[in-house]
Amino acid sequence: MFQHVEFYAGDPILGLMDKYKADERSQKVNLGVGVYYDEEGRLPVLECVKTVETQLANPPKPRPYLPMDGLPGYRAACQRLLFGSDHIAVKEKRIASTATLGGSGALCVGANFIHRWFPKARVFVSDPTWGNHIGIFEGAGFEVGKYPYYNPAIIGVRFDEMCAFLQELRENDVVLLHPCCHNPTGVDLSREQWDQVLNIIKEKKLIPFMDIAYQGFGDDMDSDAYAIRRAADLGLSLFVSNSFSKNLSLYGERVGGLSVVCPSDEEARRVQGQLQFTIRRIYSSPPSHGGYVVDGVMNDEALFTQWVGEVYVMRDRIRDMRQKLQDALSEKLPERDFSYFTKQRGMFSFTGLTPEQAERLQKEFAVYIVSNGRMCVAGLNSKNIDYVAACMAEVLK
């Protein structure tokens, strides 16, 4: 019966995690998946999360079905975080928001919605992008193309080529953008560049889909949302998928959100209904535990402030690791320029290592990075950084 079912070679990121787990070498280092580990190499449970979870457990609460689009306080929190509480679109109730199963769930619900209501649209992602962007949009039935983005020669953006490419797109084509901490390159647009890109999007009537999975890990909560707020200021209709996996360290709870900025509150209500309909047909409604945790942290002033502080501690530790790795490698290979480590932002660094070099790191040294050369800097700590620098220098020689 299943002879025609094709073999699945596994996911380049999640498969690497499995390989890492199975590796029995004691010196192994996991720099593959985009997960933040603390200085002790542990996955942190944030203090603000502990507080809410303690409240939720004492006494244990019943678990009714949540609404299809999640808890109202959760949805409002997504909007405040992404747009700022005073944003005119929030005040005018022009944003349809739903809780989703992580950022991937948000992309999936958004992709399904767009495919239904804009069936002729094509989708364009940055070259390169997070692999699952392509998978999710193709899975929803789209043809997915790439717009020029990363230029290894300058460890920056092919900005003119990107703009020229966007100029040629058709009305209602979807452009997937990373507002901060670009995955996998760590290379972001400047504010001036965002302004230009968003003007093109407006002029050409394209549909921006902003995927923000690392809010708070770039500069700060507000600055990281610059592109989203600017797009909304320009009066653009846009999709925003967000994730709490990283900034609340709640990976397995699958907590994310999808927000759609609409021209009017009346359209937002219709979009909200169709998002509910989309969700009902895929998984009905979101799980409750993560939802209550996010709701609890985001809607209590003291816990919210504590949370932002905890995110900045993670951000600063990553920055410190970037600097230390840059220094260590520059000392070992002074003829090479490693300044890109501290220029790139967020959890990832595109190291420029070739797939062969990445494989050597894994096979010979038990250091795991993604085969495209992406390293999760958040997996470094003061105990493994010298080892990683020595191994990298060895394969780069």
Active site residues: 130, 211, 246
Residue 272: what are its φ and ψ, rounded to 5°? -55, -45
Binding-site string for ligand LMR from residue 92 to residue 131, where x marks contact by CB under 6 A and - marks none: --------------------------------------x-
Choose, by CB under 6 A, the member of 79, 126, 183, 288 that binds ligand LMR: 183
Residue 273's alpha-carbon distances to 18, 277, 377, in angstroms, are 39, 6, 40
Alpha helix ranges (H) inside the chain: 14-22, 47-57, 72-83, 88-91, 102-117, 131-139, 159-167, 191-203, 226-233, 265-282, 288-298, 301-332, 340-343, 355-365, 385-396
Contact predicate 358/373, CB 8 Å:
yes
Cα gap 78→298, rounded to integer Å: 9
Looking at residues 125 to 144 of the shown chain, list those that interact with ligand LMR (rule: CB under 6 A). 130, 132
CB atoms within 10 A of CB 153: 7
- Output the smallest distance, CB 33 to ligand LMR, in A: 4
Select 68 or 136, whichever has its Cβ closest to ligand LMR. 136
Looking at residues 256 to 315 of the shown chain, list those that interact with ligand LMR (rule: CB under 6 A). none
- Output the smallest distance, CB 263 to ligand LMR, in A: 32
Binding to ligand LMR by residue 13, rule CB under 6 A? Answer: yes
- Output the smallest distance, CB 130 to ligand LMR, in A: 5
Give residues with Cβ within 8 angstroms of 233, minimum separation 6: none
Q: Which two tokens stand for residue 397?
A: 């020689």
- Output the smallest distance, CB 193 to ligand LMR, in A: 23
Select 95 or 361, whichever has its Cβ closest to ligand LMR. 361
Select 183 or 249, whichever has its Cβ closest to ligand LMR. 183
Long-range contacts of 85-93 (CB under 8 A, 24+ apart): 87/229, 87/232, 88/232, 89/232, 89/261, 92/264, 92/265, 93/265, 93/268
- Output the smallest distance, CB 397 to ligand LMR, in A: 28
Q: Which two tokens stand for residue 27?
A: 């010196």
Select 110 or 296, whichever has its Cβ closest to ligand LMR. 110
Binding to ligand LMR by residue 33, rule CB under 6 A? Answer: yes
Select 87 or 178, whichever has its Cβ closest to ligand LMR. 178
Total number of residues that touch ligand LMR (CB under 6 A): 6
Q: Which residues bind ligand LMR (CB under 6 A)?
A: 13, 33-34, 130, 132, 183
